[in-house]
Every structure is written in structure tokens, then in C-alpha cells.
Chains A and B, each alone.
Chain A
Amino acid sequence: MRFREVWRTSTFRLSLLYGGLFTVGAVALLAMVYLRSAVYLTHRVDDILAAQAAAEMHAPPDRLKPILDEALAINGGNSVFALFGPDGARETGNLRSLPHGLEPGGRPVEMSATPDFPAAARLIAKRLPSGEILVVGRDINQLREIRRIIASALIWSGVFIILAGLAGGAAFSLGPIRRLRALQAAGHDIAAGDLKRRMPTSAHGDELDMFAGTVNYMLGEVERLMSEVKTSSETIAHDLRTPLTRARAQLHRLEQAPQVSSGEIARVTAELDEVLERFIAILRISELETRARSAGFAAVSLDRIVSQVGDLYQPLAEEADLRFQVVAPPTPPIEADGKLLVEAVSNLVDNAIKFTPAGGAVRLALEAGPAGPRIVVQDNGPGVPEGERTAVLQRFYRAERDRLTPGSGLGLSIVAAIVRLHRFRLSLQDAEPGLRVVIDCHAEPITT
């Protein structure tokens, strides 16, 4: 994993930015703590010094020296007491000379350690009525120590936050990079022709997973189409060869026959018509598949579509001696291509009528499904064996039972293409006995 790669990830850059902002915030917080506590402690020292100086200034002049000496004896280790004459000569106390910059009555001054007083001290000076100068001071090593501790805490924590931010950012980026690597690897495999391969997804359901899911959905479609193209060429070739071979054989026979009846020619023509019919259906499926999804979409009422198809097929069902029940309760309109839905439902009803023996029943109904309206076409004919039910929905698939009946046999493929165009769902179920075909008229979202 090269640094450049880590650097380019948006996770790393975000963590870095976040770490930077966090560092600025933390430093500002600590600086505030430092300033406030240092100022507070210094003020406290200054207040004590002022109080001490005031107390000593009010002492009777003759008592001052003994008081100072006593104070020195008790607190001389951490306090400064000194008295200088008006000329600056030392009279008593643990300071040899008046420190430079210390003005009587002026602001407190800090002094570093001297031979007289071995610690840093904060001093103030007051001029007595006698003209003498009184200096009081306190050891401020403790104060300086606290300041130092706070300052070092500030620096170290700043360094820590920056380092942790960098390391965390890099660590957070490694995960996505690894996953991207895996996605890339999967992509290369797929590009190399392994259409069964899918983009790896994790349990997080994060943005990468969402993306991988969309790609996988797309791959599913590609795989389905590829395998359909492969099998459909075979299916078409096989399906067309049979009637064409028959027509050819018949023509050959007619060629050698001394006399040709029009009935025989009609039979050849019928074979060829079947081929043409199948071609028309194949073209229709291709058209449906290349069509933009919402080209002809508008608000359509399913109940009207269902009853129109019902009216269209009622005579055919009567003729076939079937009970034909149409149920079309009013349903709110949906976005769809009405003409295509009529075509799909017609195909289903046509199939049901074709395959149900006389005396049977066909039911065309608009029902309320769990996610939206559904169109149900049910018969009590022989049905479709379970193993064949999914295959029947594939492109150009001709069910075994279709091979013996007239027509292109591609009706269900057309229905499947129309349903797919709408992103509705088509399913074949066992009606015990018979076939139940359901179109769930509820567009499925793309991501799955």
C-alpha cells in the first residue's frame, strides 16, 4: 500500500482535515486553560504580596525590623523580605540589593534565582513614610511549574492529536482501499469474461456497498442478456430449422410429382407462414428490449385494460367451450404503456384459452397484491411443469407444449419482455390444476 494511494483516498483526506480542525480546537482549549490558570495564580500571588506589604507598612517604624527578621526566620525559605534605605543600601532581609526594574509602588516584577534567594520570585516594592523601601516577594517556582506542566500538556496533546489523526486517517483509508482493490479485481475478472463473478459487498451497507449493489444488478442483467443471446441463437436456429426442413422436403416432393394440387402448396405455405410468424415475434421481442423504458408511458387504468382484453377474448373462450370469468374492480391508474399491457394480457389469455381443454375455466382478474395491483390469468388446463416455469420466461424459449400448437410459441417471451420493460414482476404458479400467471404491476426499484 503506497502512501500516494492512501493520500488520494477521500477518507484519508477527510480524516486529515478533521484531525487538523480537531487539533486547532484542542490547542485553543488548552491555551485558554493555560492563560486563565496562569493569570489566576499570578493574581493570587500579587494579592498576597500586597496584603503582606500593607501589613508591614502599618507596623510601627521601630518594630519593623524585628517583625521582618521574625518573618524571615519563619518563612525565609520561600518568601522574600527586605528593607533598603532611601539610598538603596540594604538594611535587613534576604536580598543583597534592590533588583533592577523594581520600582517602589510600581507593578510586581519577577526575578530569577540569586545567591541570596535560590528560587525564582515575584516581588513588589513599597516606599515607607520614612523613605525606606520595603520589598516583599514569594517563591513562584510552583507557579512556574504549573505553567510548564500546562504548556507541555498542550504541546504533547497537540502532537498526539495530529499523529493520531494521520494514523487514523491512514488506517480508515486502508479498509476502503482494500475493498476498492477487491472491487477492481472483480471488475477485471468480469471484463475478462467471467460473467458469473459479482462485486464483493460487506455487511455495512455503506456507500461502497450501495455502489457495488447497483453494479451487481447491472451485471445480473448483462449476464441474463448474454446467456439469452447465446441460447436464443441456438433456440432460433433449432426452431426454424424444423419447419424449414419440412417445407424443403415438401417442395422437393412437389418438384418430382407429375401433378401438384393447390392443397399441397397451401401446406408448404403454411409451414413458411409459421416461420414468418416466428420471425415477427422474434423481431417484436428485440424491439421491446431495445426500447426506452418510459417511451410510451402514461397514466393507464388497469381495470379498463383488463375488461378490454376480456371483451376481446370472450367470443374465443365461448367458441372453445370454456367458462371465462373477468374480474376488473376499479383500480387507481398506474404509470405504464397501456398498449403494451393489452398485448401482454392478451397473450396470456390467448395461451390460457389455447391450452385449456373444452369444459374448463379461464379466469382473468385484477387483484390487489401486497405491493400494488396484480393481473392474474388462471386456467385449469395441464399447466407448465415446475422445472420449465422459469425457462418459459426466457427470451425466445418455446415451451414443450407450444411445439405442437400453431402460433409462434413466443407469446410468453413477449409477455416477459413487456413486463421487464415496465420493471414489473412476472411469475408462473401452479393453480392445482392448471397454470396461474401473475403480473405484479408494481415497478421494482433498480438497486437490489
Chain B
Amino acid sequence: MNASVLPAAKDEPATRILVIEDDLDTAEEIAACLTASGFEAAKCFDGAEGLKTAMSQPFDAITLDRMLPGLDGLEVVRALREAGSEAPVLMVSALSDVDDRVDGLRAGGDDYLIKPFAPKELVARLEVLLRRHRRQQGADGGGVETRLQVADLELDLVKREAYRAGRTIELLPMEFQLLEFMMRNAGQLLTRRMIFESVWEYYFDPGTNLINVHVGKLRRKIDLPGLAPLIRTERGQGYMLNVV
């Protein structure tokens, strides 16, 4: 993994995640998965307690169930944003409709994960959110990004061109967007659903094969014979753009 990204390196304080989830088993599972990925996880089992904890201690990110006893998830995230908290919030909900997603994001959530989900997917989304959050904080005062580089793969965001080992690669517009998303999240596990939602902005289940084929096509253009393969398949989970 890239040293500058997550989780925190050994000498830095651990990245702290607050898990607000009323189902004890699910909360435990999420926390265990976060701990296994190097995060420090705290759990809260209802909205009011979650809000109190989130306001009184610093957290790098929050996962928030939408349907909670007492204060519901939308109210919690709204209250957090009103209090000035900028920590990325991953909303988790059984409601998958676009309208529900819009409600969740409008209330102040940063991403929206539909139940049931694999804990790995939650961790992956959280990592993407954290990465984006840090990039935005880092970019404050800096200029607009015009170029992305991962190993010998380069992306010119202005000319909309891609180069591998100095050679230009012809990409279709959708392939360019896919590559941009993968490069921005290099070293990060990206599930098919995350890719579909971020690149195509559709929120339905695209089936297993569709994203595989799109990534496969991109891979044939990027990972030319004789070059170190950059796109790695994480079996049953998704893809990762290698950093090395």
C-alpha cells in the first residue's frame, strides 16, 4: 500500500472510526473488520449516544446506520454538520432507492452503502472517503490537480490523455473516467459496485460481469505485455490499482 494513504503508518496515531449501528452483531463485525484493516474502531448503538460521542471525541470518519432507535441517522448527520464536523460520514441503509440516497447525501452523508453488504466493501468505501477527505484538506490553498501519476502510468487531466511508460494510450471517454477513478484511489480495494456508482453514476446492481469486462478492457490497454501489471483483481471483491 501507498505509504501516504491508509491506514496510518506505525508512528502516526491510528485512524479512528466511529461505528454507529444498532445491531450488535453487525456493529461487532464492522468493528472487527476495521480493526483487522488497521483502524481503531469505537461503537455506539443508538443515535443520541452516537451523536454525543461524535461531538465529544475526534474521529477521522463515521459509519452511520440510517435507521436507528431514538435519533435517526439523517438527524444525526444533520446535527453533526450543523455543529461544524467535517469528518466523512458513510451512511448505511437498507433503503436502496435513489431518493433515499439523495436524502442521505443531502443531509450531509458522503457516501451511501446499501444493506446487506460485505464488511470489506464498507472498509473499502471508508478508505476512499478518508482519502478524498485528506486530499481535499491537502488541496486547500493548492492549485487544481492537472496530472495523476501511478508508477509509470500518467494521466493528463487537462488534455484528457493517458501515457504508460511514455507511450500514449488511446482511451474511450468512459475508460478515461474509470482509469481516473482507479488512479485517484491507487492502492485501494475498489468493489464493482463502488466503481459502477462512482464512474457511471448508476446505483442499481450491474450484475457481476459488467464491471469485470470494462476493467478487463482497460487492463488490456494499460498492462501491455512486458510491463509490470498494474490492475490487480481481488478475487470475489473487486480491483486494485497497484502502486508498485
State how many angstroms separate the Cβ of A89 from the closest Cβ of chain B: 115
- Residues 371-396 of A, flagged 1 when their CB comes within 8 A of B and 0 if not, give 00000000000000000000000000
Distance in Å: Cβ of A195 to nearest Cβ of chain B: 29
User: What's the Cα separation between A266 and B95 when bound, in Å?
Assistant: 28
Chain B residues in 8 Å Cβ range of A408 = 205
Give the distance in Å from the alpha carbon of A296 to the alpha carbon of B102 in the complex. 11
Interface residue A155 (Cβ < 8 Å from any Cβ of B)? no
Q: How far is the CA of A270 from the CA of B237 in the complex (A)?
A: 11
B98, CB-defined interface residue at 8 Å: yes
Establish whether residues B204 and A346, one from each chain, have CB atoms under 8 Å apart when the complex forms: yes
Within 8 Å of chain B (Cβ to Cβ): is A342? Answer: yes
Which residue of A287, A315, A354 has the most chain B CB atoms within 10 A of its CB atom?
A315
A39 within 8 A of B: no
Alpha-carbon distance between A13 and B143 when the two chains are bound, in angstroms: 82
Tell me the bound Cα distance from A276 to B118 in angstroms.
Answer: 10
Given contacts A284-B96, A295-B99, A316-B213, contact A343 B207 (CB under 8 A): no
Residues in chain B near residue A416, CB distance under 8 A = none
Interface contact A283-B94, CB-CB below 8 Å: yes
A115 is an interface residue with CB less than 8 A from chain B: no
Across the two chains, which residue of chain B brings its CB closest to A280? B205
A281/B210 in contact, CB under 8 A: no
Task: Name A287's contact: one of B97, B200, B207 (CB within 8 Å).
Answer: B97
A276 touches B116 (CB 8 A): yes
Asked if A350 is at the interface (CB within 8 A of a chain B CB), the reply is yes
Q: B229 near A: Cβ within 8 Å? A: no
Instruction: Report the bound CA distance from A414 to B97 in whole Å.
Output: 13
Assess whether B171 is interfacial by the CB under 8 Å rule: no
User: Contact at A319–B202, with CB atoms within 8 Å?
Assistant: no
Residue of B202, B205, B213 near A315 (CB, 8 A) is B213
Residue of B nearest to A319 (CB): B213
**B216 proximal to A (CB < 8 A):** yes
B216 A319 Cβ-Cβ under 8 A: yes
- Residues from chain B with Cβ under 8 Å of A266 in the complex: 235-236
B202-A342 in contact (CB<8A): yes
The smallest beta-carbon distance between B92 and chain A, in angstroms, is 14
Q: Which of B97, B200, B207 has the most CB of A within 10 A?
A: B207
Question: Whole-angstrom distance from the CB of A68 to the nearest CB of chain B?
Answer: 111
A407 touches B96 (CB 8 A): no
Q: Are A339 and B202 in contact (CB under 8 A)?
A: yes
Q: B175's closest neighbor in chain A, by CB? A: A315
Q: Which residues of B contact A350 (CB under 8 A)?
A: 206-207, 210
- Shortest distance in angstroms between A268's beta carbon and chain B's nearest beta carbon? 12
B114 within 8 A of partner (CB)? yes
Closest residue of A by beta carbon distance from B205: A280
- Tell whether, in the assembled complex, residue A291 and residue B114 are in contact, meaning their CB atoms are under 8 Å apart: no
Q: Which of B199-222 contact A (CB under 8 A)?
A: 200, 202-210, 213-214, 216-217
Verify A280–B200 contact, CB threshold 8 A: no
Per-residue CB contact flags for chain B residues 63-101 toward chain A (1 = under 8 Å, else 0) read 000000000000000000000000000000011111100
- Cβ of A184 within 8 Å of any chain B Cβ, yes or no, is no
- Within 8 Å CB of A339, what residues of B? 98, 202-203
Given contacts A266-B236, A342-B202, 15 further A-B contacts (CB under 8 A): A273-B236, A277-B205, A281-B205, A287-B97, A288-B97, A313-B210, A315-B214, A319-B213, A319-B216, A343-B204, A350-B207, A407-B207, A407-B208, A408-B205, A414-B204
Interface residues of B (CB under 8 A from A): 94-99, 114, 116, 118, 174, 200, 202-210, 213-214, 216-217, 235-236
In the complex, 30 of the A-B residue pairs with CB atoms within 8 angstroms, ordered by the A residue number, are A270-B236, A277-B205, A279-B116, A280-B114, A280-B205, A281-B205, A283-B96, A284-B96, A284-B204, A287-B97, A288-B97, A291-B99, A296-B98, A296-B99, A312-B210, A316-B209, A318-B213, A319-B209, A319-B213, A319-B216, A339-B202, A339-B203, A342-B202, A342-B204, A343-B204, A346-B202, A346-B206, A350-B206, A350-B210, A354-B207
